[in-house]
């Protein structure tokens, strides 16, 4: 049986994680105030995620590192999602 809510949640978290990684890579090539369309789109998509990450990341972490922590928190959420799905018995526990 396919559990669409697990897969949908996992895909949304994966898309968020890869978008954050994309913005990090683009930040190596573009200035923060760049007017390039791809940079603006990535910023518009990831700014809410970074604001959320800033709220749950300790204040001693510099703003430049918040993006790395946002990816870290997304990975942690995906791991917890897998643990939750396994504990609820959504995956077949037999090997074949």
The per-residue pLDDT for 40 is 94
The per-residue pLDDT for 3 is 79
The per-residue pLDDT for 91 is 77
Question: Average pLDDT by consecutive 10-residue portion of the chain (96 residues)?
Answer: 82 96 93 92 95 92 90 96 88 65
Q: What are the structural domain ranges in the chain?
A: 7-87
* CB 51, CB 66: distance < 8 Å: no
CA distances from 72 to 55, 92, 95 (A): 14, 28, 30
The per-residue pLDDT for 93 is 66
């Amino acid at each position: 049986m396919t559990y669409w809510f697990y897969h949908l949640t996992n895909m949304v978290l994966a898309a968020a994680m890869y978008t954050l990684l994309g913005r990090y890579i683009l930040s190596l090539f573009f200035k923060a105030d760049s007017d390039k369309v791809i940079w603006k789109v990535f910023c518009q998509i990831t700014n809410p995620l970074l604001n959320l990450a800033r709220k749950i990341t300790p204040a001693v972490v510099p703003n430049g590192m918040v993006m790395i922590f946002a990816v870290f928190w997304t990975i942690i959420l995906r791991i917890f999602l897998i643990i939750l799905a396994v504990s609820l018995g959504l995956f077949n526990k037999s090997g074949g």
